[in-house]
Amino acid sequence: MKFFVDTGDINEISTLVETGMVDGVTTNPSLVASSGKDFVALVRDICQLVPGHVSAEVLATDVTTMLKEAEVLRTIADNVCIKVPLTVDGLKACKALSAEGTAVNVTLCFSAVQALLAAKAGATYVSPFIGRLDDVGESGMQLIRDIVNMYDNYPNLHTQVLAASIRSPSHVLESAMAGAHVATLPPKIIWQLYNHPLTDKGLAAFLKDWEKTGQKLI
Ligand code: E4P
């Protein structure tokens, strides 16, 4: 499973890249707003740090303007992935961009039939939002399972399931068990994946016993 970082915070991305766990980045207009940075400059900086896909979202809602914005975004760097919303116009833009070889992430997916449309439009990624579905009393994880199972019926569909709106390590585990290709994770969740109290306790005991030997390896 690939890990993307879901943030517009360049410092957090930089620190996480050093872990070797980061395969790409997703941003959205809210994350760009909270970064306080110029959108194009921010995407450029992230693309230099991370070799994998960096999703940058169009702001227009009509296909003509979306395609003009996509042109601006994709000239920033080769690894920019154009993010479009799962709307009629968004999927028209997806189809046009995909046909010319541009990577597209279709975002704001909340149903399996929406994911079917994204795949038919040639999306590179579809982003089902787990946490936001859970927030309204639906099962985000069931949606991930449904989309993975549905896509498996059609080997000619190459859209990757990008589990988004992840709020906990168990969302990561269940997405991986369901076969999602990618999970986009807030930095806090990536750090949480490392943690287990028995790891800390075990390491402390090993080091204490090692001290008793009086030996040094280097
Ligand atoms: C995905 O690309 C989105 O940016 C993100 O996962 C949304 O997460 P949220 O529901 O926590 O805002």
Domains, the chain, with CATH or none: 2-210 (3.20.20.70)
CB 102 within 8 A of CB 67: no
Identify which of 28, 30, 144, 172 to mutate to test ligand 1's pocket (most ligand atoms within 8 A of the CB): 28
* Whether the CB of 26 sits within 6 Å of ligand 1: yes
β-bridge mates for residue 125, sequence order: 105, 160
Catalytic residue among 2, 37, 68, 83, which? 83
pLDDT tens for the chain, 218 residues: list them. 999 999 999 999 999 999 999 999 999 999 999 999 999 999 999 999 999 999 999 999 999 999 999 999 999 999 999 999 999 999 999 999 999 999 999 999 999 999 999 999 999 999 999 999 999 999 999 999 999 999 999 999 999 999 999 999 999 999 999 999 999 999 999 999 999 999 999 999 999 999 999 999 99
Helices (H), 121-196: 130-135, 140-152, 169-178, 187-193
The encoded tokens of residue 94 equal 């997806």
Measured on CA atoms in the order 162, 163, 165, 170, is the torsion positive or negative? negative
* Cα-Cα end-to-end distance for the chain: 36
Could you confirm whether 92 is annotated as catalytic? Answer: no
Instruction: Pick the atom of ligand 1 nearest to 164's CA.
Output: 6
DSSP code string of 39-98: HHHHHHHHHHH-SS-EEEE---SSHHHHHHHHHHHHTT-TTEEEEEESSHHHHHHHHHHH
Cα dihedral 56, 60, 62, 65 sign: negative
The structure's pTM equals 0.97
